Amino acid sequence: MKVIKNENMVHVDIDDTILLWDNPTVNGPGKLHIQFAGGTVFLTPHHYHVALLKTYKERGYYVVFWSANGWAHAERAVTALELQDIADGEHGHIQSKPCKYLDDNPDANSIMGPRVFCADLTKPPVNTDITSWWD
């Protein structure tokens, strides 16, 4: 049995949390090349969340990375972002995103705290007007 002896834990989702899927088929400055579903996608680091995560680590939080796209995708993302030293545990705590949890408390936020998300203001806006894509 593995016991995590830390009362401060942060569980970090990968997609659209520390890696943004804005225009994943278009390569560009600052984008990371990630193997995904047999091909390559070009994802943008969410610099603010990565910096926030590093401050949590410096403050002694136990860091777990997860992804609904599975542990292998999470591992590739953590490696591409060079965050291996932040992932806690014997080999870095990387896992698939939990699909269920059991708890007696009907309000998970009262225990887990609020979700943290900040818009990445450093990235350029994405053009969503598809009529201009073919001009």
Where are the chain's structural domains?
Answer: 9-99+111-132
CB neighbour class for 46 (10 Å; exposed up to 12, middle 13-18, buried from 19): buried
Model confidence band, residue 5 (pLDDT cutoffs 50, 70, 90): confident
Q: Give the largest CA-CA distance in the chain.
A: 60
- The answer on pLDDT for 44 being more than 90 is yes
- The whole-angstrom distance between residue 10's C-alpha and the CA centroid of its chain comes to 11
Model confidence band, residue 2 (pLDDT cutoffs 50, 70, 90): confident
Q: Report whether 60 contacts 8 (CB < 8 A).
A: yes
pLDDT mean over 39-64: 93
- How far is 56 from 38, CA to CA, in rounded Å? 33
Q: Report pLDDT for 88.
A: 77
Nearest to 44 by CA among 130, 124, 116, 133: 124
Q: What is the pTM of this model?
A: 0.77
Per-residue pLDDT reduced to its tens digit, 61-117? 999 999 999 999 999 999 999 999 898 766 568 888 877 776 777 777 776 777 777
Q: Report pLDDT for 133.
A: 47
Give the Å distances, CA to CA, from 63 to 24, 82, 88: 26, 14, 5
Compare 124 and 112 and report the one with higher pLDDT: 112
Q: Which residues pair with 62 in a beta bridge?
A: 9
